[in-house]
Amino acid sequence: MDVNEFEVRAHALVTDGTVGYDQKVRRLAALATEMLPYPVISEACEAALDKRVICDMYEGNAPFTARYILPDYEKALAQGLVHLEMPPPTDLDDALSFLQIMYTHVPSVTTYPVYLGDLDKVLERFVTDDLTDAELDRKLRRFWIGIDRMLPDAFAHLDVGPHDSRITRSILRVERSLRQAVPNITLKVDPAITPDDLVEDAVRTVFQTGKPHFVNHPMMVADHGERYAAVSCYNSLKIGGGAHTLVRVNLKEVALLHTGGVDSFLATTLPHYVELTAELAEARIRSLVEQQHFYDTHWLATEGLIDIDRFSAMFGIFGLAECVNLLMAHDGYEEARYGHDSRADALSRRVVERVAELVAQRPMPYCEGGGGYCYLHSQSGIDLDHEVTAGTRIPVGDEPGMLEHITTCAPHHRYFPAGISDIFHVDETAVRNPQAVVDIIRGAFVSGMRDFTFNLDGNEFIRITGYLVRKSDLVKIAEGEAARHSSDYLAAGSESSYHLTQRAVKRVGVAERSPR
Amino acid sequence: MNDHSTGLVASTIPFSNVDGPGNRFVVFLQGCNFDCVACHNPQTIPGHAFEGDHPPTRLSVDELLVAIRRAAPFLSGVTVSGGEATQQAGFVHALFTAIKADPVLQRLTCFIDSNGGCTPETWRQLAPVTDGAMVDLKCLDQQIHQEMTGQPNGEVLASILQLQSLGLLYEVRLLIIAGVNDDPALLRRTAEWLGAIDPNMRVKVIGFRAHGARPHMPALVPPTPDALDATAALLQQVAPFDVCVI
C-alpha cells in the first residue's frame, strides 16, 4: 500500500459515522501495519496470495501477537500476576475482578481475548457451600454484563464441562436471562460423564441465546490432551498455548486452476497449493517469533501463563463443496453434488484425507503444540468470500435432511483437531422437545463428530461462522448506526453479501476478519 | 393367519421431534378408517389419493430395520403413525417385536400415534411390545365427531380409557377447528372427562392449519393463537394438565 492509498483509507475510516470510536482506533492500527513490508515469501506464494487462492486472514503485514492465545487462567489465579501487580485472589469477588482485569490485557488479532477460561474449573474453588445459587447468579450476572460491555466481541469465548457444576448451571441461567451476544460458550460433552439433563439445560439455552456450542470431549482429549479449550469461533487449541496464525487454502480456486482429472489433482495441483499455504504459514510464524519476538517479550510468556511449546498454527481449508462439484463435473458427473451423491461424498473424503496427509508431512517451525506440524482446521471464512462455501460445509440452502447432513459431515471431523463446524438447523418445534436435540447431539458424537452447533429457526440470534449477532443489531448497521460489538460489522458484511435476514435464515455464509 | 412381515407404508422420516418423546424415526402407514375433514395426510385415506403423491410402498420389517438402524444412534425411539397405524396392527406388532429383539435397537422405545378407532383386542395384542401411545380426540361430542371424521367416537373414548389402564397413554391430542369443536362448554366437558382419567395428563392442543389439508366447503378456519391459548387456559382451570399448544 502506498501513502496515497493509506491516506484515502484512513480518511474514509475516521469520517465513517457508522464506525464507533474504539473500532476506529483498532482499524487504524490494523491499517498502519499494512504500511510495513510483508514477511518474505516466494513469487509463487505471493501470486497465489494476491489471487486469494491462499489466504492469510488479513492478520496484517507484521504479526506482533499470536492469533489465538489461551492463557492458563488457573495458574494465573494461583500465582497472581507480576506484570499487573495482582496478588492471587482469595474469594469469588476477587477472582471475578482479577479475571476481568486480566482479560483486558490478553492480546489477539481482534484485540480482544478469544479465550476467557474454563470457568467452571477456574472458579470452582471459590464457590463455597454457604454461597446460595441466587447469590452466585447475581455475581455472575454482573460479571457477564461486564464481559459483554468491556469485551464487545463475539469471539471472546469460554468453556464449561464435561462435569456438571453449580457454576455451569448458573452460567446457563444467566445466559438465558441476559441474552447477550458475548461471551461465546462451549459445553464439553463426554457421554460417560456429562449428564443428559445438563446437555438438555444447554439445549434450552441455545433456544434462547444460540449458545453454547457442543464439543466431543473424548475426541478432543485424544488429540490435545485434557488441557484444551474451544475458543473464538470454535477453534480447539491447547490451554497455555494457542495458534500463532491461521492460513487457509481455497479449494474451489485450486480446482478451477486445475486441468485434468481427480488423480492428477490429488497428485500434483493440490500438493502444490498446500505447500504454498504452508510456506505462507511458516513466513508468518517466523516473523512473529523471530522478528517481533512476541514470545520473548510478552508478560503472559515470561510469567509462564503461555508456553510457545504449546502453540502451533492453523491450516484451514474452505470451498470443499465447490471443489468436489467441479472435479465431479470434470469427470462427467455434473449431477453428483457434494452432500447428495455417494460418489461426491467419497471424493470429498479423498480430498480431505489428502490435505491432512500433506499437512502431516510438512514440518512447521515453533509448532511443538501440534507435534511440529500445523493443525488442520475447517471453519473460517471471511466476509469477502463470495460464491464459496465455508470449510467443508454443504452450501447454504443445498443441505440434505439432518441425518444425511450429519452422516456426510461426520467422516471429516477426525481430520480437524483445531475444529470444524457444520451448523445444523433445528425446527422451532424442538423447543417443546429439547430431548430430541439431546438425542441428536449424542448421536452426532457417537458418529464421530467433533463439533456440534445448531441454530433454532426464528431465533433473534444468527450464528455466523461461530460467533453470534442479533438480527436487530444488523438492522441498526444497515440503517447507518454505529454497532456496539466489533463482530457485528463482520456479520453485516456477510449479511449484505448473502441477504441473510431477508430469507428464512438457516445459517450464514462466512465472516471472520475483514481487511478494511 | 395373515402375513404380517410386510406393511403398506406411505412414507418414513428418520428424524421427528413432534411424534413422541425425544427424536424419533416415524413410519407413516397407508390406510385409515377415518375420513377427517382436517386430515393433513389425506393421501393416506383410501380413495383420496391424488395425482403427484409419492405412492405407498410395501416394505418388509427387515427393510424398515435397515433404515431405522442408520438413524438409531440419534433416536429415542420409533413411532408408527399414519394413516391409522392400528389398521395394520399385525405389521406394527411384528415391527416392534423385531426392534425389541435386536441388540442394537432394543433401547429404542416403540410408540403408536393413533386416531383411537380400534378394538380393545387390538390394544391388548399390541401392549406387550408397545411403550406408549398418542391418541387424537377429535371431539367428545358424538355428533360433531361423526361430522368431523365420518365415524362415531365410542372406540376412541374406550381406547383412551384402556391405554390409561395399561399405562401406555403418553398424550391426548385435541385438534381445534374454529367454529367446529371449540365451544367453551364442550371444551370444559372434554377437560372434565380427561381430568377424571388423569389430571396430570399430557394434552396437546393443535390448531387446525390449512396446509396439507384438502379444500373444504365452507372453508375450515384455523383458530387464532389467542384462541388456542384460551383453550389451554380453560383446560388447566379444570385440571393441572401438562398442556402444550402448537
- Listed by start position, the domains of chain B span 6-245
Task: Provide, as residue numbers in chain B, all residues whose Cβ is less than 8 Å from the Cβ of A403.
Answer: 14-15, 70-71, 74
Q: In the numeric block, which cell numbers belong to residue A7?
A: 491516506
Cα(B26)–Cα(B15) distance, rounded to whole angstroms? 7
Which one of B13, B17, B73 has the shortest CB-CB distance to A436?
Answer: B17
A450-471 pLDDT tens trace: 999 888 876 565 655 556 666 6
A376-409 pLDDT tens trace: 998 755 555 677 888 888 887 778 888 998 988 8
User: Which whole number is the average pLDDT over A344-364?
Assistant: 96
H or E element in which residue A137 lies = helix A133-150
Query: How close, in Å, is residue B173 to chain A by CA atoms?
Result: 15
Is it the case that residue A511 has pLDDT exceeding 50?
Answer: no
SS3 of residue B92 by DSSP: helix
Task: Provide, as residue numbers in chain B, all residues whose Cβ is less than 8 Å from the Cβ of A426.
Answer: 17
Contact pairs from chain A to chain B, CB under 8 Å:
58
Query: How close, in Å, is residue A444 to chain B by CA atoms?
Result: 7
* Residue A342 near chain B (CB below 8 Å): no
Is it the case that residue A155 has pLDDT exceeding 60?
Answer: yes
List the one residue out of B16, B67, B40 whose CA is nearest residue B216. B40
User: Which of A15-24, A110-119, A507-516 has maximum average pLDDT?
Assistant: A110-119
- Calculate the CA dihedral of residues B50, B55, B58, B63 and round it to 10 degrees: -140
CB contact under 8 A, A442 and B244: no
Phi, psi of B29 (to 5 degrees): -85, 150
* Residue A199 near chain B (CB below 8 Å): no
List the one residue out of B126, B129, B108 whose CA is nearest residue B25. B108
Task: Provide, as residue numbers in chain B, all residues whose Cβ is less than 8 Å from the Cβ of A446.
Answer: 73
Q: Which residue of B has its CA nearest to A431?
A: B17
SS3 of residue A184 by DSSP: strand
Is it the case that residue A284 has pLDDT exceeding 60?
Answer: yes
CA A384 to chain CA mean position, Å:
17
CA A483 to chain CA mean position, Å:
21
Question: Would the CA dihedral through B95, B68, A198, A209 be positive or negative?
Answer: negative
Cα(A411)–Cα(A416) distance, rounded to whole angstroms? 11
CA A231 to chain CA mean position, Å:
6
User: Which whole number is the average pLDDT over A422-450?
Assistant: 92
H or E element in which residue A360 lies = helix A342-360
Tell me which amino acid residue A40 is: V
CA distances from A224 to A217, A357, A373 (A): 10, 18, 13
Residue A269's pLDDT is 97
DSSP states of A429-487 as a string? GGGG-HHHHHHHHHHHHHTT-SEEEEEETT-SEEE-SS-EEEHHHHHHHHTTPPPSSHH
Give the Cα-Cα-Cα angle A361, A364, A369 (nearest 5 degrees).
Answer: 100
CB contact under 8 A, A433 and B22: yes
Residue A440's pLDDT is 96
User: Which whole number is the average pLDDT over A166-176?
Assistant: 97
Q: Which residue of B has its CA nearest to A196?
A: B22
- Residue of A204, A439, A445, A456 to mutate for B, most B C-beta atoms under 10 A: A439
A419 Ramachandran zone, left/alpha/beta (phi>0; psi -120 to 50): left
Q: In the numeric block, which cell numbers belong to residue A44?
A: 509463487
Residue A325's pLDDT is 95
CA B51 to chain CA mean position, Å:
25
Is it the case that residue A273 has pLDDT exceeding 90?
Answer: yes
Higher pLDDT pick, A275 / A422 = A275
Number of H helices, E strands in chain A: 21, 14
**Whether domain B6-245 has CATH 3.40.50.300:** no
Contact (CB, 8 A) for B176 and B207: yes
* Residue A8 near chain B (CB below 8 Å): no
Interface pTM (ipTM) of the complex?
0.90
Is it the case that residue A77 has pLDDT exceeding 50?
Answer: yes
Is it the case that residue A129 has pLDDT exceeding 60?
Answer: yes
CB contact under 8 A, B18 and A429: yes
Query: How close, in Å, is residue A432 to chain B by CA atoms?
Result: 8
- Residue of A199, A408, A440 to mutate for B, most B C-beta atoms under 10 A: A440
Which residues of chain B, if any, have pLDDT below 70? Answer: 1-2, 47-53
Cα(B159)–Cα(A288) distance, rounded to whole angstroms? 74
CB contact under 8 A, A437 and B246: no
- Residue of B12, B16, B23 to mutate for A, most A C-beta atoms under 10 A: B23
Burial class of residue B175 in the structure, from the number of CB atoms within 10 Å of its CB (0-12 exposed, 13-18 middle, 19+ buried):
buried
What's the mean pLDDT when you consider all of chain A?
89
Contact (CB, 8 A) for B4 and B93: yes
Contact (CB, 8 A) for A220 and A454: no
Is it the case that residue A363 has pLDDT exceeding 90?
Answer: yes
Q: In the numeric block, which cell numbers belong to residue A34?
A: 499494512
Residue B53's pLDDT is 59
Residue A464's pLDDT is 56
Residue A484's pLDDT is 64
